Structure 1
Amino acid sequence: MRRFDDNDEKKVNNERWLLTYSDMITLLMIFFIVLYTISTVNSQKFQQIAASLGKSFDGTNYVVGQYSGNSILDSIKTTNNTSTDNTIESQLDKLIKQNNLQNMVTYKVDERGFVISLNDTLLFDTGSADVKPDQKATLIKIGNILKAMPNYIRVEGYTDNVPINNSQFHSNWELSVIRATNVVEILVNDVKIDPAKISAVGYGEYRPIVPNDSDKNRQLNRRVDIVIMNSDYNKWEPNQ
């Protein structure tokens, strides 16, 4: 029988490091593969989102995750008409052109959802929260376009930073809240939008979209936004 001497022990010990080294190399390889995979996926997602936001209103196709189409709201139709030209954008464009509202009504998509901005001079007199009788019909038409949508709707009031100076309102904040509330009441009472899915919010002068440093900018800040909320926001609504 061959004896196990010190030379054999040294030989075995000298080769053990190869096992540790190979394990370490394998783990490093897996680690870098995972990092590369994650970075590639995120890069693709960001590219898709950036491209979609840039193209959502120019008539080209968009792709965000598993959804695709001709525009972000392309799949949302009203119940009265199912033609391919009956998207929310096309109906708003038609309404804006027919009533010469190009400088009064605009729309966009942001992280909250689909936002329709109404210049305050369209609906209200200066310092007033009462919707002008001759523009109530315009607001109802906009509401009818949105009525069939299942999304939550938030009406947001905004003002500029010029202090309110009348006996009816104590602050711009109060004015913005009452304006938003009056718009909601028309959408609920006249358009018959479900009151459980619509709300009013007032931000006053504290959420300007441009600096209040000119008459033109202050006019842009005085507005009412009708926000068709992204479905991701549903989970934050109470009683859901």
Structure 2
Amino acid sequence: MRFHMGVGAALLAASAGILPGTAAFAQTGSVNAAADEADVPDLQEFAVNPDEIDSGQAPDKAPTAVDVAEVGAIVRAPLECEPGYSTYSWTGTKTPWTVTHAKGYENFTGSTATYTKSATRERTITASAEVTSGATVSANVVIASLDGQVSWTLAASGSVTNSGSESVTATMKPGSVYVFYAGARKTSGSFSYSLCNSSGTHVTVKSKGKATSFGLKREGAVRCGSTVTSASLGYVAERDYC
């Protein structure tokens, strides 16, 4: 009887050593609050890499080469211009009617008559382009660009208006003074030639200068003292030569 009781006590003591919480439970009737809390992983810690659970690292993978390229496309500055594209910009463009030939005649014959008269040269307009700073550019290319600023065709570089006399035919009323004239629209302006770099990120001004040409030629005769539209070459002839 003592043998069985001794063995039972020994087993009970051994159980108490293996499960210390059991004795506490027997004494207090509750589980020991000092036991470690179970570690429950966050939802975001599941998947991808189990080693990242509770490691403090974000479970995201490092960006791939494609990711980097996509990000670069988003943050890259937009192109400022088309790579290699060049352009001419114009300022101060003027297109006045200019008399190149003029001469006055009187008709005191007492009758209306048609006359062919000679208008002598007053001035010459020369088509040309001049670079005032920067690299040399083609004069004809510059004038071709200037041509785009007007609605008539301009003469190419090196062209000049007639340096001799102009023959003009007109009808003259009796008792009047007429100016026989010839001329053209003189077109001039200042240009800036710019070039976009090969990356399309910067525009550089390569040249600056000025150009002159002419076009839309006209001739005629105007009676002094008559009312003429200001949009005509005859208006300039009447104003300056009567």
Higher gyration radius (CA): 2
Q: Shorter-chain-normalised TM-score: which range?
A: under 0.3
The answer to which structure has the higher strand fraction is: 2
The answer to which structure has the higher helix fraction is: 1
Higher relative contact order (CA 8 A, sep 6+): 2
TM-score of the superposed pair, with normalisation by structure 1: 0.23
